[in-house]
Structure 1
Amino acid sequence: MKLYNLKDNSEEVNFLNAIKKGLGKKQGLFFPKYLPKFSARALDDLIKMDFINRSTHILSHFISDEIPLKDLKKKVKKAFSFTKPKLVSIKKNISCLELFHGPTLAFKDFGARFMAQMLSHWKEKNSIMTILTATSGDTGAAVAHAFYRMDNIRVVILYPKGRISSLQEKLFCTLGKNIHTIAINGSFDDCQYLVKQSFNDVQLKKKIGLNSANSINISRLLAQICYYFEAFALIPLKHHNDIVISIPCGNFGNLTAGLIAKSLGLPIKSFIAATNANDTIPRFLESGIWKPNYTISTLSNAMDISQPNNWPRVEEIFKRKKWNLNTLKSESVSDEKTIKSMRELYKQGYTSEPHAAIAYRILKKNMHKTDFGLFLGTAHPSKFQDTVEKILNTHIDLPESLQSRIHLKNLSHQMKPDFLKLKNFLLTKI
């Protein structure tokens, strides 16, 4: 499978080099040159498979002969060695696809663990690799746990100080060993910019073997395609042509994966890109003007992103498939309305955190009577314990993966959003 650079189409790489590079020339994102499509019969056969076999089959179409199918299945099984996605009915024709049953209680476990398995398969013996990534909440924990204690792979995670929940922080800032975390005095966009500057520094990239585990890395994106097929398998057959999926969007990797799943043949009727007050995309789709505002802190902190890195991939797939970008529905939800939606879901017997509540609200608003609505549950409510308990006036028991870390020391460094200071850290401190 060949992938090309969206900013320099002459740069083409295979899957291995795409995940090693992370970004191409001019910080361009890699995108598959060929988008396969399953026939109706092949799709029926896929739906009958279990999650591991189906995921292996889907991913093999992108990885091709770069890794034998037998080895790929072993890696997929190891990467997805946790409870698969669950479909939870909320009300008539509306369900939540819970993607947070992995080791760090967030959907990002799928992509991060698959990427780690792919890199461990191909990494040269004794070579050093440095994973540099930015997180607005859940990516950090997923990446940290996926690569924890891996030989000769060092991980550096940047996150905006004071803008992620304390429990999110505890999940990945207490590991140590090969995991290094830095609290940046700024926004998530500042963290992303530092990552981009690092990848622009040729000397730095070469000296420390720099790679990225953000959703900009194609391996993470492809892994996420798999749970859209699982959702399709879980939804009753009579609804298969009426599925509307609402996605809480931050960096827009989850939406991109869903669009690729649709291009592969899943008959998804439409997608909704749900955002919080950081509404760059809803405004862009309405006006055609790209005008990011300064990032605002909200209850749904993992979506506090004003310049989503994956948006060029969204535009590319619409262009490649000749779909009309104006058919993509995108709206923003305020914190006040987020709280109302959380309380509404709770009255219906479902405890939700802010991100899923936003997706639910916009889904409910835009559904037709014949639609089957699906909104993504991207993080376990316990990761936002203080917020959820205060809003819902209830108590949430912490899963063991969180309970075991709450009293551990935070090992993070602190830094201003200064590239030279980060470069010095990367060259001398790890």
Structure 2
Amino acid sequence: MAERESGTVGIILAGGRGERAKPITLESADYIRSKALIPFAGRRLIEWVVDACREQGIRRFYVVAQGLENRSQIKLLLGHGERYGVEVRYSRSSFDRYNVGSGAATLHNLEQWDLGGRALVLPVDSIFDFSLEELEATHRASDAVVTVAAVARSPLEVAGKYGAMRTDGDGLVSGFVEKPGLGLIHELFPEATTDSCALVPTNAGMYLVDCDRLRLAAREPELMRQAQQSLDWGGDLLPWLVRNGRAVAAHHIARLGDLGNVQDYLLTLRHVLSGTYAQMNQLMPDPRSEQPRYWIHESSLHTKDDISGTTLADKIAQGDVTVGPGVRIGRDVTVGSGVRLEYTDIGDGAELREGARLSGAALGDSSVIGPYARITDSYIGPMAEIHSARDRPALLDGYCAVGDGAHLWQGSRLSGVSVYPRLRVPALANLPAGTALTSSDDILRWV
């Protein structure tokens, strides 16, 4: 993609605690890593965000952080942007007390940085397929204070999960409904029924703003009071702007990948590895193979497992290991005989023992998958170990998540269960989907 210089700056809202994404956002039971630092397809989320925006011409970024750990983690990775060819500045810690919602954080920090012109406000727990140039064109043509990136979704996708927008013939937003139920969706959008092709425009959580006019609106007494108490973009700030006659436009983008919880994380990862996201295709290295589509680091191709003594390259050539479609294998990964992989991301230094089968999975750095394990639609954190054997295979599916450094014993059968970091879990089965094992006390209840 040819780079261009844009007058737009980026504001990254990175201060959230990532509660919905636990245990992915946990390094231990009581230590939350920033959502910005969640690993995704070989990099951290905020790195993908910065690179995607830089490629479209944004060279200055302002990061809204929150608290010591969040701020220091992000700054340790990004620094001031030198490695990424951009400039990065951070919100002041003294402003943390004003970050009472995404809208309030934006308004207060626009003042802190004394920003004018255009700014692209975006979260750090999503990836987007969009054209900044087209977004800017809509923004100019509508003379909007804010232009909302919109994604069209079915009523069933929207119900209870996404904010919906009603627009007029000129593309201006006439109303917002935050996470409506299915009945209300059909009432407000009668054309969008469950058996039709009509879709509902939803708020993607990315906003192109006119900084000067938005700062002027923020001086209205009512909005000032709200910004001191609680002010989110979708539920509060956008509806206030529309109610008070400020022009808010909607611009449809190609795609949004939500990474805010385990299921959405894994579904988005599958789509990225499948090549669905054009922008990510341009940012990622070229696949080693297009049919089937996969990436394997050179070091892993030449790594031998300690049982057969053969390299991964040998195993693939002999048909002993099946890789793809949609597989990314990082550095120094050991893959045993008989392994089958599809739509799976494997971090550096991971080990996959003989006979393991993975589909729709994400493995963190230095994780270990035991012999004949079956891992489907599940997240395995860094240095986690899934013990398994031919006669007692571990079976995980249904969007399980195993936290950093946790161990699961042979014979474990889990579906839709979360295991918090560093726990050692005996072979368990038949736990209800949605169960979270957060401590040894939780484990004892099920033993």
Higher helix share: 1
Select the structure of larger CA radius of gyration. 2
Instruction: Give the TM-score normalised by structure 2.
Output: 0.25
Question: Which has the higher relative contact order, 1 or 2, with Cα contacts under 8 A spaced 6 or more apart?
Answer: 1
The structure whose residues are more often strand, as a share, is 2
